Chain A
Amino acid sequence: MATKILDLPEEEYMLPGNRACAGCSLGIGLRHILKALGGNCIFAVPASCLTVLGGMYPTSSVRIPWMNVVFPSTGAAASGLAAGLKAIGREDITVVAMAGDGGTADIGIQALSGAAERNANFLYICYDNEAYMNTGTQRSGSTPIGARTTTTPAYGKRQHQKDVPKIMEAHGIPYIATACPSFPTDLYDKVKKAVGKQGTRYMHMCAPCPSGWQFPAKDTVEMGRMAVEVGAVILYEIEDGAFRLTSRSKKLAEQGGLKALRDYIAPQGRFKGMEEETIDHMQAWINRRWQQCIRRDAEGQA
């Protein structure tokens, strides 16, 4: 049974007056992730916008234990935390590693892959704002084709983004999910489900970024919804190998189809002046992925 907004817990573990930008989707996401964890967790966080949100010594803006680790080490640090908790018999506490897309898809992938291969007992959450936003919007492996960053040519990135959840799926871990803070109840339910499992669990959360994607801060939630509507982000979960579309993506599959990619591209400054040919490339890439997901979802039902 899916949780409703009214049923979400009132308790807050993230405090107001933090260092995140106005309209940052990470704030919405982190609030609901921490609600789902009920504060019973330890975070390992590498250099990212999340470290900024977490706060600067001697104060922090979260009411949970939070360890800042070096960029490539998130998976290793979380493995160590999990081993330590096991040794002292406190496996009721969930170890959460939370990193950005740069810290996951590029810099942190070897430690994460190693940990997943050992099936280390933690939940890894990648919040994907599709570039290195904290350091000033540099291109990452997760930046979509056609998007302009400060380190791409004037016409935008030439390559498609990495499909990190798929890389993680190849490790055969027990739980993989994608989420978006514009669908907080879906995010909440997925974290709840992940907490109930043992071993390495991976979540990929789309995180619209007003400054990096260049749209007004008020449209953060709308942008996340649009990403799902056009299929740039597909909400699904893979539980012990069984694929299932969830939430809005499930409805879109039932009601027959995605919106045109142009509706998503037009309001974002990073896609300004994107060539028609590139838009077609991206649309074809999305369509391919979407068809694959529909097929897999149908196989799961059968």
Chain B
Amino acid sequence: MGTRDCGQKSAMSSPCIGEAGRTGDWRSTRPEFDPAKCLAVKAGRPACFQCWAYCPEGVIKKEVGSEVDLTYCKGCGICVEVCPSGAITMIPEPEEE
């Protein structure tokens, strides 16, 4: 699944990650994850996973202490809202040079 592989000879598309490019560029704020507050990290076993279930982009993995894939995260902030322990906060993206 490479990015925008144009080797197709038929009128059929092939699946690829980043079909619309690096959608992380759409963001103005980014989610920051605080493992110390995460219920799954604190329990040390699979638990909660609200952020994973509600992420519209699927950029959060179903793993204990999963990081957000910032290459494709569009920065909607749903994970912040659904997290029951306040382990995720939105912080402004750094200004580009």
A: residues with CB less than 8 A from B are: 5-6, 8, 10, 12, 14-28, 31-32, 55-63, 66, 184, 210, 216-222
Q: Report the separation of the CA atoms of residues A24 and B55 in the bound assembly, to the nearest whole angstrom.
A: 10
Question: Does B80 reach chain A (CB closer than 8 Å)?
Answer: yes
Pairwise interchain contact A15-B81, C-beta atoms closer than 8 A: no
Q: How far is the CA of A184 from the CA of B53 in the complex (A)?
A: 7
Contact of B78 among A17, A26, A217 (CB under 8 A): A217
Whether A28 contacts B1 by the Cβ 8 Å rule is no
Asked if B54 and A221 make an inter-chain contact with CB atoms under 8 angstroms apart, the answer reads yes
CB of B19 within 8 A of CB of A59, answer yes
Contact residue among B1, B19, B81 (Cβ-Cβ distance under 8 Å from A221): B81
**Residues in chain A near residue B42, CB distance under 8 A:** none
| Residues of B in contact with A (beta carbons under 8 Å apart) | 1, 4-8, 11, 13-23, 26-27, 46-50, 53-59, 62, 69, 71-72, 74-78, 80-82, 90
Q: B20, A19: Cβ atoms under 8 Å?
A: yes
Q: B23 is contacted by which of A17, A57, A222 (Cβ under 8 Å)?
A: A17
Chain A neighbourhood of B4, CB < 8 A:
58-59
Q: Give chain B nearest CB distance to A60 CB in angstroms.
A: 4
* B58 contacts A23, C-beta separation under 8 Å: no
Q: A10 near B15 (CB under 8 angstroms)?
A: no
Partner of A16, one of B18, B27, B54: B18
Say what secondary structure dominates the interface of chain B.
loop
Q: Is the CB of A221 within 8 A of B15?
A: no
**B46–A18 contact, CB under 8 A?**
no
CB–CB B58/A220 < 8 A? no
CB contact under 8 A between A222 and B81, given known A14-B58, A22-B76 = yes
- Contact, CB under 8 Å: A58 / B56: no
Which of B7, B21, B55, B80 sits near A28, CB closer than 8 Å? B55
CA distance A60 to B16 in the complex (A): 6
With A5-B53, A6-B47, A16-B58 known as contacts, the answer to whether A218 contacts B78 (CB < 8 A) is: yes
Identity of the chain A residue whose Cβ is nearest the Cβ of B79 in the assembled complex? A218
A96 to B31, CA, bound (A): 34
Tell me whether B54 and A28 are in contact (CB under 8 A): yes
Q: Which residue of chain B has the shortest Cβ distance to A12 in the bound complex?
A: B58
21 A-B residue pairs with CB within 8 Å: A6-B46, A6-B47, A8-B53, A15-B1, A16-B57, A16-B72, A17-B18, A17-B21, A17-B22, A17-B72, A18-B23, A20-B56, A22-B27, A28-B56, A31-B56, A56-B13, A61-B19, A62-B15, A218-B90, A219-B81, A220-B78
Q: Is there contact, CB below 8 Å, between A56 and B56?
A: no
One of B49, B69, B90 near A5 (C-beta < 8 A): B49
Distance (whole angstroms) from the CB of B58 to the closest CB of chain A: 5
Q: Known: A5-B50, A58-B6. Contact between A10 and B62, CB under 8 A?
A: yes
Q: Contacts A58-B5, A221-B82 known; A16 to B17 CB distance under 8 Å?
A: yes
Q: How far apart sit A21 and B14, CA to CA, in the bound complex (Å)?
A: 21
Complex alpha-carbon distance, A42 and B82, angstroms: 31
